[in-house]
Amino acid sequence: MQQASHLIVKDLVLIGGGHTHAIALLMFGMKSLPGLRLTLISNTCHTPYSGMLPGHVAGFYDFDQCHIDLRRLGQFAQAQLYLDGAIGLDLDNNKVICANRPPVAFDLLSIDIGSTPAQELVPGAAEYAIPAKPVAEFLSKWDQILAEFGQHPAKTLSIGIVGGGAGGVELAMTMQQRLLKVKSQNSQVKIHLFDRGAELMPDHNRWVRRRLQNILINRGIQLYLGETVCAVLPDKICCESGLVVDCNYIFWVTQASAPHWIKASGLQTDSKGFILVSDTLQSLSHPHIFAAGDIATMVNHPRPKAGVFAVRQGKPLFANLRAIALCQPLQFYQPQKLYLSLIGTGDGNAIASWGPFGWQSPLLWRWKDYIDRKFMDRFQNLPPMARVSSQQPIVTNNQKLTTNNQMHCAGCGSKVGSTTLERVLQRVQVEYPITARDDIILGLETPDDAAVVEVPVGQLMVHTVDYFRALINDPYTFGQIATNHCLSDIFAMGATPQSALAVVTVPYATEEKVEETLYQLLCGAMKVLSEAQTSLVGGHTTEGAELAFGLSCNGLVTRDRLLRKRGMEPGQVLVLTKALGTGILFAADMRQQAKGRWIDGAVSAMVLSNQEAAKVLMAHGATACTDVTGFGLLGHLLEMVRASKVGVELDLEAIPSLAGVREMLDIGIVSSLQPQNLRASRWISNLSQVCDRPNYPLLFDPQTAGGLLASIPADRAVDCQRSLVALGYKDTQAIGRVIPVLEGVKPIRAC
């Protein structure tokens, strides 16, 4: 993961990866600003492009065609990506409060979190209706409905859609068209569209309104105009007029609403809770905070909440974020009054609406399709990563700092100052207090030249150390991954971790920014250490070109419970607790080839501690164990096999791999360490028969925070696997069996 080698002086935090931020990030990627650290906080790593969403519902576009991959985009923009939802703002201290991580500090903030259909006003709507946003939840429900409908050939499916704006009308047409394709001869599809207005789509001209209304009627879509929905029951829509309509599913596409935390934060909002912004897209109350897209209301130019406006704001937002970071004058932006809407009708046609004009033609659909694909192409085929293209300094505290050619001292001159460290440790402990243990004689609470720990009588001390560069642009998550990785050796030995010393390199930055990086990183590390009841007793922190972290860990174990690499016995089954492929996926990530959700999958596996897995393996009679890390599965297995003087029959097909690994192997992406690990292949007895098999390269993939590999008595293996899966090690597999080693025969046989 590349990191800026420039001094970081300002933090620009973007909340939400909506249309405006996607464009701004693209532009930051092409014209970065040295010294400005970008952080995107997003509750999803795939953000939908609204223009293609109805086409996706209709089945014209697959998921990737209509979603922007924020991991890839973030990487292109050299932005940190924090996958979390913002739930509040602490404006006194300039912090974003997130649902699942420590607060995130900012100097400049921009908010583009979209809107959600207002459900609160109608009883039962929040409980029983499916809102069109958040889109991820809407689509997951839609996929489920499609699958269920396809499986029940004689079903009558009745869908209610509440809201007759452009979104509701498009959904009614596209859902119907899709369901008609899925349905069998004996099943039926009924679509009911409700709106309190006398006509649909009041923001559009008369011709467009009439045309769409006729299309809906001709297609047998039931229109309930002038009907105000007053209650939603699990299977019914109730209107003020007394009308009650039975529906299997109810979709909510009413007017946009803003989340409560925006207003509660103290930002000035309009009567509906949307952030009031000036012509520069700055908050009226807090000029260092910007807002764009649906969540913002331009006080001088109010416009409908539509993706087209969010997209157009991308360029001016980028220009103004850059300008404010450079202390330059900001630009005024005035959105267009008339805008072209191309409304897909779900059958390969589209209707154009522009002010008083309207037109319908299949050509319009083709044109819309062309425009939308072209828009998405900018995000799907990102240009090669730009090097820093501006040498302009960022101004901070009225002081100009040159952000390159900065002299960085080495030796102890590169250490992070003690006051910074003290402050960070105090802050971290508010979230994750250091584990107090009786066997820690001198730790961080009573600092000295070195930590002093006690080895209780009858116990052995297990020592291990690991340290590596950040593989992900999120110090909090990296802190968790690295700590899991470092503790893994202890668990693999059957030991319980006791204490740890941290070694950290933080990127060059101002004191304040160093503090923030350290804070996020150590929060991640301390979260894992606290869960493992392990005390952080000291450490060493320096500044350098990029973030790196490691721990020297101590663990305790009694001699009789010590689990070694040796100890495998013929007849036993080999159990692997996590899927492989982190090396391949992160190699792909560096080449911008990995999909964001694949990296999410890898991260979920890496933040899963091996502690509980070790306990289960021990409880099921494991006689040998190791953790699978840098040398890959085969390298670590060979160490076990040699130490145990046995052979192994590996079931290649049973080896679990993370999502996306096969695709990346197919295009030849492997880790840079793979060629060295591949040397272990000489120990495979039937190499020529298996080296072309799809899973073969997986054997040599270096793992970060990989799983445990253990040798279990055959009669306990199934039970052991079940227990591991129940504890969250969902990819656990029996991947082979231990066999006697024969003189002169290579010990590994793959089948």
Ligand X SMILES: Cc1cc2nc3c(=O)[nH]c(=O)nc-3n(C[C@H](O)[C@H](O)[C@H](O)COP(=O)(O)OP(=O)(O)OC[C@H]3O[C@@H](n4cnc5c(N)ncnc54)[C@H](O)[C@@H]3O)c2cc1C
Catalytic annotation, residues: 412
Q: Which stretch binds ligand X (CB under 6 A): 39-47, 210-218, 446-454, 485-493?
A: 39-47
Total Cβ atoms within 10 A of residue 655 = 20
- 55 near ligand X, rule: CB under 6 A: no
Q: Quote the least distance from Cβ 383 to ligand X, whole Å.
A: 22
- 669 near ligand X, rule: CB under 6 A: no
- 305 near ligand X, rule: CB under 6 A: yes
- In sequence order, which residues have a C-beta less than 8 Å from that of residue 372 and are 6 or more positions away? 49, 51, 52, 55
**Which one of residues 3, 6, 16, 69 is an interface residue with ligand X (CB under 6 A)?**
16
- In sequence order, which residues have a C-beta less than 8 Å from that of residue 143 and are 6 or more positions away? none
Q: What is the DSSP letter of 122?
A: S
* Nearest residue (CB) to ligand X, 55 versus 707: 55
**Which one of residues 59, 134, 150, 713 is an interface residue with ligand X (CB under 6 A)?**
134
Q: Quote the least distance from Cβ 141 to ligand X, whole Å.
A: 13
Total Cβ atoms within 10 A of residue 650 = 22
Instruction: For 463-501, give one letter per residue: b (16+ CB within 10 A) or e.
Output: ebebbebbbbbbbbbbbbbbbbbbbbbbbbbbbbbbbbb
**Which one of residues 41, 258, 661, 665 is an interface residue with ligand X (CB under 6 A)?**
41
Q: Which stretch binds ligand X (CB under 6 A): 72-80, 221-229, 287-295, 430-438?
A: 287-295
* Nearest residue (CB) to ligand X, 295 versus 424: 295
Q: Which stretch binds ligand X (CB under 6 A): 128-136, 389-397, 643-651, 740-748?
A: 128-136
Q: Quote the least distance from Cβ 320 to ligand X, whole Å.
A: 16
**Which one of residues 308, 486, 495, 613 is an interface residue with ligand X (CB under 6 A)?**
308
**Which one of residues 23, 26, 53, 750 is an interface residue with ligand X (CB under 6 A)?**
53
Q: Which stretch binds ligand X (CB under 6 A): 50-58, 229-237, 677-685, 712-720?
A: 50-58
- 18 near ligand X, rule: CB under 6 A: yes
* Nearest residue (CB) to ligand X, 295 versus 717: 295
Alpha-carbon span 489 to 500, nearest angstrom: 13
**Which one of residues 3, 39, 42, 657 is an interface residue with ligand X (CB under 6 A)?**
42
Alpha-carbon span 707 to 578, nearest angstrom: 5
What does DSSP say about strands 36-42 and 236-239: parallel, antiparallel, or unpaired?
Answer: unpaired
**Which one of residues 71, 133, 178, 565 is an interface residue with ligand X (CB under 6 A)?**
133
* Nearest residue (CB) to ligand X, 43 versus 265: 43
Check if the beta carbon of residue 498 is closer than 8 Å to that of residue 557: no
- Which residues inside 513-572 make contact with ligand X, applying CB under 6 A? none
**Which one of residues 14, 77, 86, 493 is an interface residue with ligand X (CB under 6 A)?**
86
* Nearest residue (CB) to ligand X, 595 versus 636: 595
Check if the beta carbon of residue 196 is closer than 8 Å to that of residue 228: yes
**Which one of residues 29, 34, 51, 539 is an interface residue with ligand X (CB under 6 A)?**
51
- 294 near ligand X, rule: CB under 6 A: yes
- 67 near ligand X, rule: CB under 6 A: no
Alpha-carbon span 254 to 115, nearest angstrom: 11
* SS3 (DSSP) at 237: strand
- In sequence order, which residues have a C-beta less than 8 Å from that of residue 353 and are 6 or more positions away? 204, 205, 208, 340, 341, 342, 343
* SS3 (DSSP) at 240: coil
Alpha-carbon span 702 to 328, nearest angstrom: 47
* Nearest residue (CB) to ligand X, 142 versus 586: 142
Alpha-carbon span 235 to 233, nearest angstrom: 5
Q: Quote the least distance from Cβ 133 to ligand X, whole Å.
A: 6
Q: Which stretch binds ligand X (CB under 6 A): 291-299, 380-388, 429-437, 496-504?
A: 291-299
**Which one of residues 164, 293, 393, 601 is an interface residue with ligand X (CB under 6 A)?**
293
**Which one of residues 20, 345, 396, 477 is an interface residue with ligand X (CB under 6 A)?**
20
Q: 3-state secondary structure string, 362-405? A: HHHHHHHHHHHHHHHHHHHCCCCCCCCCCCCCCEECCEECCCCC
- Which residues inside 214-273 make contact with ligand X, applying CB under 6 A? 253
**Which one of residues 47, 75, 534, 611 is an interface residue with ligand X (CB under 6 A)?**
47
Q: Which stretch binds ligand X (CB under 6 A): 141-149, 299-307, 662-670, 688-696?
A: 299-307
- 346 near ligand X, rule: CB under 6 A: no
Check if the beta carbon of residue 76 is closer than 8 Å to that of residue 382: yes
* Nearest residue (CB) to ligand X, 201 versus 492: 201
- In sequence order, which residues have a C-beta less than 8 Å from that of residue 17 and are 6 or more positions away? 25, 40, 42, 44, 47, 68, 70, 73, 112
Q: Quote the least distance from Cβ 161 to ligand X, whole Å.
A: 10
195 strand-pairing partners: 225
- 69 near ligand X, rule: CB under 6 A: no
Q: What is the DSSP letter of 607?
A: T
Q: Closest Cα partner for 86 from 30, 21, 4?
A: 21
Q: Quote the least distance from Cβ 407 to ligand X, whole Å.
A: 38
* Nearest residue (CB) to ligand X, 20 versus 78: 20
Q: What is the dihedral of CA 634, 639, 644, 647, to 10 degrees?
A: 30
Alpha-carbon span 370 to 342, nearest angstrom: 12
Q: Quote the least distance from Cβ 143 to ligand X, whole Å.
A: 15
* Nearest residue (CB) to ligand X, 44 versus 280: 44
- 54 near ligand X, rule: CB under 6 A: yes
* SS3 (DSSP) at 47: strand
* Nearest residue (CB) to ligand X, 310 versus 606: 310
**Which one of residues 11, 17, 23, 238 is an interface residue with ligand X (CB under 6 A)?**
17
* Nearest residue (CB) to ligand X, 333 versus 729: 333
Q: What is the DSSP letter of 284?
A: S
Q: Which stretch binds ligand X (CB under 6 A): 132-140, 277-285, 448-456, 657-665?
A: 132-140
Each residue 168-187 as x (binds ligand X by CB under 6 A) or -, in order, gives --xx----------------
Q: What is the DSSP letter of 682?
A: G
Check if the beta carbon of residue 648 is closer than 8 Å to that of residue 747: yes
Tokens of 581: 């492929």
- 353 near ligand X, rule: CB under 6 A: no
Q: Quote the least distance from Cβ 314 to ligand X, whole Å.
A: 9
**Which one of residues 35, 103, 160, 307 is an interface residue with ligand X (CB under 6 A)?**
307
- In sequence order, which residues have a C-beta less than 8 Å from that of residue 388 and are 6 or more positions away? 4, 6, 32, 34, 404
* Nearest residue (CB) to ligand X, 136 versus 442: 136
Q: What is the DSSP string of 611-639?
A: HHHHHHHHHTT--EEEE--TTHHHHHHHH
Number of residues that bind ligand X (CB under 6 A): 35
**Which one of residues 12, 66, 77, 113 is an interface residue with ligand X (CB under 6 A)?**
113
Length of the chain: 751
Cα distances (Å, whole numbers) of residue 37 to 15, 21, 109, 204, 618: 14, 15, 12, 42, 46
Q: Which stretch binds ligand X (CB under 6 A): 42-50, 203-211, 212-220, 736-744?
A: 42-50
Q: Which stretch binds ligand X (CB under 6 A): 11-19, 176-184, 410-418, 529-537?
A: 11-19
Establish whether the linkage from the previous residue to 134 is cis, with ω within 30° of 0: yes
Check if the beta carbon of residue 248 is closer than 8 Å to that of residue 235: yes
Task: Note the residues at the interface with ligand X (CB under 6 A).
Answer: 15-20, 41-44, 47, 50-51, 53-54, 85-86, 112-114, 132-134, 167, 170-171, 253, 293-295, 305-308, 310
